[in-house]
Every structure is written in C-alpha cells, then in structure tokens.
Structure 1
Amino acid sequence: MSRVKTRSRSIPAPASRLVACAAVAGAVCAGVLAAPASATATEPVVSRGVTIPAFYTPPTELPAENGALVRTEAMPLGLSIPGLDGRPMPGTATRLMYRSTDSNGEPVAVTGAYIEPSAAWKGGGPRPLVALASGTMGQGDQCAPSFALQHPLTLTGDTLSVGYEALAVYRLLAKGAAVVVTDYVGLGATDRLHTYVNRVDEAHALLDAARAARAVPGASVTAASRTGLYGYSQGGGASAAAAELQQSYAPDVPLSGTYSGAPPADLTAVMKGIDGSALAGALAWSINGFAQSDPDLRAVVDANVNAAGRAALADASTMCVGDAILGYGFTKSNKWTNSGASLGEVIARDPRAQAALDKQRIGTLEPAGPVRLATGVQDDIVPHGQARKLAVDWCGKGGNVTYDAVVLPNLGDKILTNHLAPLITDQGSAVSWLTDRLAGKPATSNCWSMPVQP
C-alpha cells in the first residue's frame, strides 16, 4: 500500500484519486483506506512543518466496540487562556484514541482529549460530561482540536492554527463538568483525510468520544453521568447530527441536552455562503472529504474540476483555517471548474452530486432530548436562514427546541465577523443553558412562540 506526500502532509493514496494522482507527478495511486501495514505508533508524520506525534498514527487493528479506547497518554494543556488573566486551564488532560464507525460502516480510529476538571460539580448526581465538537479547524492533521489544546497557537512559516475553542472548554470545566473533545474522523489521525462536515462521521465521532471518556484512566465520569453535546459552526452541525442519531447509534449515552450553534444543516446553502468568502478554502475541505467517502461525488468532481482546482484541493488538504484564509480567502470556485460554473452550480445540476449532499441534510430526524439552537441573524458564512429552518424542522417533528436568534449589527460582508461574533456573544448563555440540563433542570421549548422572522 502506498502513500503520497503533498507539502509534507502524508495523504493515504486512495483518500481521493483526484487529489493524490493529479497533484503529485509520478505518484502511485493504488491502495485502500486503511493505514499502511508499516504504520505504527512509532512513526510521526510531518504536516506543513509541524511534527504530528506518533500517538496519532492508528494501528492496523482496532477494538470491536465503538467508543473503545485504543490508547491514551497524559497530555499537557496550553499554559493559559487569553482573556482570562493568564489563568491556567482548570483540569488535567489525557490524549486519547478510540474506535468509531464511519459513514460507510467501516471501523475508524479517532483521536481527541479528555479533561478531568479540578472544580467540583455542584449540580447533584455524578459529575456530568460534555462532548465538545470543535468549530472549523482545517484539514491538516496539525489542526486537530486536541493538538490545539496543547498548543493554543501553532505558527510556522507554513501553517497558522489557533485553538479558539479553549474558552468554551475553560467555561465548562469551571462549572465542574468533565469535557471530552473529538478530533473528528481523519483530523489528527493520520490514516485518511478529514471528512469535513460529514454528518454521520461527525455524529459518530462525538458520541463515541462520550463513550470513550468513561474508560479513561482516572476519569470521574461513569455510565450514569448526564451527558451534554456542545458545538458551534462545524461543531454545531456535529452536535445537531449527534442529537439526531443518538437513539439509533448510541442509546447508552445518557443525553441530557445539546447546544448547536450556527449549524451547517443544509450544505447546498452553506456552499453558496462560503464561496467567495474569507473561508472559501472550506469548500475544498468539504469536496476533499466527500470525494474520499462517496464514489458518486468523486466521479462528479473528477469530471468537472480543472488543473487549478485539483492543485487547490491538494494544497488545502494540509491547511488550517489561518492558512486557508491567507491562501484562498475570497477565492471564487468558478476558477476551479472546467466550465467556469461555481462548484455549487456544478453539484446542483448533477443528480448524483446533489443526492450526495442531500444525504448530509440535518433536520430529517427528531433530536433526542432538549436542544438549544442559536444562530446569528447576520451570519452570511453559515447562512442564518438554513440554520433557523433546522429549528423549524425539529419543531415540526416534536423536538424540544429552544431557538435563539442572536441579533447583532452587520459587521462586514463575507469576512467571517458575522459568523464569529455570535460564537463569543452567545457562549455564556449556551454554557449556562447546557449546565442547567446537566443538573437535571427541565427545558421548555419555545417552538410555538417562535416568530416567523428572524
């Protein structure tokens, strides 16, 4: 089985024939999606000048049960949290690798981190757990959320990553809740590309992280611990999808509440929002991930993406958010296609591709337990309208939904500010709402009082 190297990032040969074969001259393009037989925990990978610890290389064999630990190790946390007077993170971290199941039904190794809080839980019952799904970090392994907890700022001549979820983690730990953070499928773990915004992969990875947390040596959480899901942006989509799939996939996870902020529930609408924006590179991440896992979409991409697009997809596959903003900010995807149509237009006119995106739609199932869904009314990156429609869809299915429209002024078109501002301004309310659910307090749906607009 072969690997090809693109800008120091080790890409599994079949991760996308489009990416691997077109981007690297003379590359060998045969193989399978499993880790190479020679891959062991003693082989670190270098991604854009950053050495990924050997811990992140999956073994060739995985445990039989979803959520089962593959390995753990002590993990130092970043020294302090910006904006909190240099106070250290109030907890002790363990890096972990665990088994999950991907959207094709195959076993997959996922990495992450569990943080045991130093603060006592005062809400009654055993210490609760929050499974946190990070917002968009990128597609390079050096962008993994667990890596960012150890290195809040990764800055080399070739990559820029900021661990912006540290504040949410801090606030949850300060409440006395334990936190487990998933790196998602393929982000950190070096055997495949990250399947960005794949709802099934993300939901499974998040729910299996909650399962894995119970088995971490020294963890105070148990199978009886109330569990909450927390996520914003990509993480909001992951937590929303996990709430929908919990009953069928992980009924053993005692879900007490879910916070879903700015969820990308309708990827067709989201593609239009990010195309030409500061985060245009995220289009490449989504295409890379879906081309890896969905043969129909891979065929459409192979037939429609030009040489410049293939080069951009390969380049972006190793990038973090900072790199993508600097490298592809405000790029329009019509530069990447043979026809000059945008990627959204290409997908919309091909039934196979549209069907692939339709399978990613969140809102077709009733979520388990109470959900708080918040979205900024000015959000033009993950458009407000499609996120609000998710709340409406859930209400129509009988969900216990608390919908909050975050009203802020327009802070600048397509430059991320309208998307990022609610992450901060709503965070305190989100953490408080979720803490109440973990304490066993009931939530009251506002579905029937939800205004038509916003």
Structure 2
Amino acid sequence: MKSGKRAWIAVLSGTLMVAGVATVAAPSAWTQPGAAQSPGAGGEILRTDAAQQAAAPPGLPGTLPARATRIAYASTDTHDNPTTVVGTYLEPTARWTGPGERPLVAYAGGTQGQGPECAPSAMVSQVIRFQPPADVVFQYDVLAIQHLLSQGMAVMLTDYHDFGVPGVHNFLNRKTQGHALLDAARAGLRLPGTGFTPASPVVLYGYSQGGMAAAAAAELQPSYAPELNVRGAYVGGPPVGPAEYIARSDGLPGVAPAIAWILNGIAADYPETRPELDAALNNTGKAILHESIGKCGGGLSNTFTRPQNTTQWTTSGQPITAVIQNSPELKKAFDQQRLGGSAPSVPVRIYAARNDDFYPAVRGIAASWCGGGAPVQLQADTSVPSMTGFISTHDLAFFPSMTTSLPWVTDRLADTPAPVNCAALP
C-alpha cells in the first residue's frame, strides 16, 4: 500500500515524491519502514519518548499544564491492515476533582494539512506555523486541550494515519480516523505510570475533521473496541463525508488544498481509483494535487495562484462531484467514507452552527443515529453569524463549542442520564 501511494503521486505529478518524513518532535527512527510494517494489536504501544513541551495558547502564560509523551502505537487502516500511528499523551498537572477516577479524553484534531509538519502533535508544540509564501496556520485545538487539561482530564491526541510514518494522510477517511482515535485511547490507557486501568473512563472528542473522527470512532467502537469504557462522544461540526465536503466547498476561497488532500488520500487508499482520476484531471488539476502534498492548511497562497473551482481541474469541465458520481470505482470509495451507516451505542452530543453550510447534512446524520436507537443530543447554535471566506461560520463555531461541551462531558463521567432530543431535532 505504501509503495502504491508513492506511485500515484508520480502519476499525477510526473515526479516521485515521498510525503512521510518525521513530524516535529518525533524521533527520526520512528519513520523507519519497519515501524509501519510490523505493528502489534490495536493500541499496542510500540515506542514512547518525551515530547517537546507544548506551548500554551496565545494570551496564556507559559506552556500547557501537562507532561507530554509521544507514543507510536499500532492501529489498522481502511482495509483493516495493520499500520502505525503516532500521537501525544498529555498528563495534566491539575488534579481531577470531578466524579470517579480521572478520565482519558481521546482527542481528534481539526483540519491542518497533509504534510508531516501539520500533524496535530507538531502543531500543538508550535501553535502558529507560517508556510511560505503566504499561509499561516493556527492550531486552534490547543484552546480546547487547555480547557480539558485545566479540569484535570488527561488527553491522548492522535496524529491520524500517515502523519508520523511514511505515507499520504488520507484526509476525512472514516475508518482510519475512527481506528486511530480508538487505538489512541487504548494506547493511552496502557501507558505505564498513568494510573489508568482497562476500565478507566474514556471520552471521544473532536471538532471539524476531529468531529468526523469522533463520530466515526463512536460508530465503530461497538465492533472495533467494545472493551473500552466510552462514556460519551462529543462530535463538533463534523463533515459527514468527503463527497459532501467537496460539494459544499467547491469554489470557495482557500478550499482547493483540502479538496486535493481528499483526492490524494482516496487515490492512495484505493488504487483502482487512480486511473479514473488520472483520466479526469487536466494538468492544472494534477498540479494542484501534487502541490498540496506536504502543505499545511490556510490555502491563501493557493488562492492567489490556482483556480478554486474544480470545473477548471478536469478535462471535461465538469466539477469533481460529477467525476465521482460518473465513476463506479470513485463513487464506491467515497460512499465508504460517509457517516451514518451504523449508530453509536454511547451517548453522543452533536454541535453545529445553524448557519454552517454543513448543518443540513449534520442534522441528517443525527436523524440516522436516532433512528438506530442512539442517545443523541443535537445542538444547533443560532448565535454564530453566517460568514464565508477564509474565516467562516464553521470556523467561528469552534469557540462557543468549547464552553458548551465541557459540562456535557462532565455529566457523562458522573453517569447523569444523557439528554436526548431525537423526538424534536432542531
């Protein structure tokens, strides 16, 4: 699979490119090929090392109130093959004063990019990253992580697949994100010296890409990690699938790299789709996919130099959504990434801004889970204004989502009955 990923990049760009050097703060030995080829069972710890001290959010003094440990752990990919994931465990310095024993929050980060420097752990240690010529990336997740740590909750932050080991990060892949987050929880519970046991309480948590990962993990947990004591899943602003993301984002400024990350990941994971994409994309489209490998988020540089509408990426002049629908192989691969195929067995709180373009699809997933018997609370936040562009409603909604999520998480740890509004979804 790894060699296939590299070959696909060569098909699109004419130049072989390996997008898998070590992430910031990760020992270079972790990226040796053997590390990714012979992992153990899901969540097994393969290596640990002290991590760079994570910076505190801007405006807050010093560093995050935690001791950080980098962990390479075993997981499985979208085809259920063994692979390796890197993440960071954050042991809070604050005492846990909530109900029961200290919980572990399995934290899924939001969208940052498709290069190793964009890995969530690396971004937490940097907070702000400039990538020439004009992109500035802000690791907003550090604000939520700070919030959780200050309450005495331990945090296990996954870097997803192919960020800390050679490969192409498969952005918005349902199974790999869900597996990476569940196995992060397993690894965090197994880390010596933490005081955790296999029965310690776990919470799944994420916003945006992280919201999709938390949702996928909640769907997969009953079959993939039934032994975990998951008390609940906080799912913030989730894209319900990459095809829906493309359909609602195509043409918006700064979104072209994210669409390219999706296509790069699909082609890497599903070799049968490569000829379809190679035939459909013109030289501009192929160049955009190539340029996006190794890029962190932002998209400002790309906006000035490349067309944002995918009708200008294809030989037919059709948008990428039409290319997907017209190709059985592509449609099959994209359909497998969509949330809603199964219902979680744990309480779920879904947060989304009512003015977010993704809200109708998010409500649809909530309805699907409710129909499957899941205890779901959907909050449609009407306080966030409608905005598009580089700062959107979706981006702004992250901030109020933090303050409303913590009481819900604490109540789940206290075994308070979960609120459900399936009968009258907003």
Name the TM-score, length of structure 1 as normaliser: 0.87
Question: Is 1:208 aligned with 2:166?
Answer: no
Residue 69 of structure 1 deviates from its aligned partner by 0.9
Tell me the alpha carbon deviations over residues 29-85 of structure 1, each in whole angstroms, 9 at most, x when there is no partner: xxxx9x9xxxxxxxx9379xx8975154155153321101111111132332224x3
- Answer yes or no: is 1:310 the counterpart of 2:286: yes
Matched, 1:17 2:7: yes
| SS of residue in 2 equivalent to 1:231 | strand
Gaps of 5+ in 1: 2-11, 36-43
- In the aligned structure 2, how far is the partner of 1:217 from the partner of 1:101? 23
Match of 2:153 in 1: 177
In the TM superposition, structure 1's runs of 4+ consecutive aligned residues that sit over 4 Å from their partners are 50-53
1:439, 1:237 → 2: CA distance? 25
- Quickly say closer, same or farther: Cα 1:92–1:51, change in 2 above 3 A: closer
Q: Which runs of 5+ in 2 are unaligned?
A: none
**Percent identity of the aligned residues?**
38
After superposition, the Cα gap between the structure-2 partners of 1:167 and 1:409, relative to the gap in structure 1 and judged at 3 Å, is: closer
CA distance in 2, matches of 1:133, 1:154: 19
**What CA distance in whole angstroms lies between the structure 2 residues aligned with 1:405 and 1:122?**
30
3-state SS in 1 of match to 2:323? helix
**Aligned pair partner of 2:302 in 315, 327, 340:** 327
Query: Which residue matches 1:146?
Result: 121
Aligned residue among 365, 368, 381 for 2:345: 368
The letter of the residue matching 1:57 is T
Instruction: Map Cα deviations across residues 61-117 of structure 1 (whole Å, 9 max, x no partner).
Output: 53321101111111132332224x325311111011101000112111101100001
Alpha-carbon distance in 1 for matches of 2:48, 2:368:
40
Shift of 1:199: 0.3
Deviations 1:285-308 (A, max 9, x none): 010001111133323212201111
Q: Give the number of equivalent residue pairs.
A: 420
Equivalent of 1:54, from 3, 20, 28? Answer: 28
**Cα deviation digits, residues 328-384 of structure 1 (max 9, x gap):** 47711112111111111111222322222111111121112100001111113xx11
Quote the Cα distance in structure 2 between the aligned partners of 1:266 and 1:45. 28
Structure 1 pair 309/46, CA: closer, same or farther in 2 (3 Å)? Answer: farther
1:253 to 213, 217, 228: 228
Q: Deviations along 1:187-237, whole A, 9 cap, x unmatched? A: 2x2311001100000000000000001222332322121100001111111
- 1:420 partnered with 2:410: no
Q: In 2, Cα distance between the equivalents of 1:409 and 1:64? A: 45
Deviation sequence 1:275-331 (CA, Å, 0-9, x none): 112322110001000111113332321220111111110110111112x33314771
* SS of match in other structure, 2:350: strand
More helix by share: 2
- SS of corresponding position for 1:321: coil
Contact 2:56 2:146 (8 Å CA) reproduced: no
The 5 A counterparts of 1:242-281 are 242-277=217-252, 278-281=254-257
Distance change in 2, residues 1:182/1:124 (3 Å): same
Answer whether contact 2:112 2:137 (CA < 8 A) is retained: yes
Q: 3-state DSSP class of the match of 2:161?
A: coil
Give, in angstroms, the shift of residue 122 of structure 1. 1.7
CA distance in 1, matches of 2:87, 2:150: 20
Report what 1:196 is aligned to.
171
Instruction: Indicate how the Cα distance of structure 1 residues 174 and 140 shifts in structure 2: closer, same or farther if over 3 A, else same.
Output: same
8 Å contact kept, 2:25–2:122? no
Q: Deviations 1:376-410 (Å, cap 9, x if unpaired)?
A: 11113xx1110111111111111100110011354
Which amino acid in 1 is paired with 2:128? Answer: L
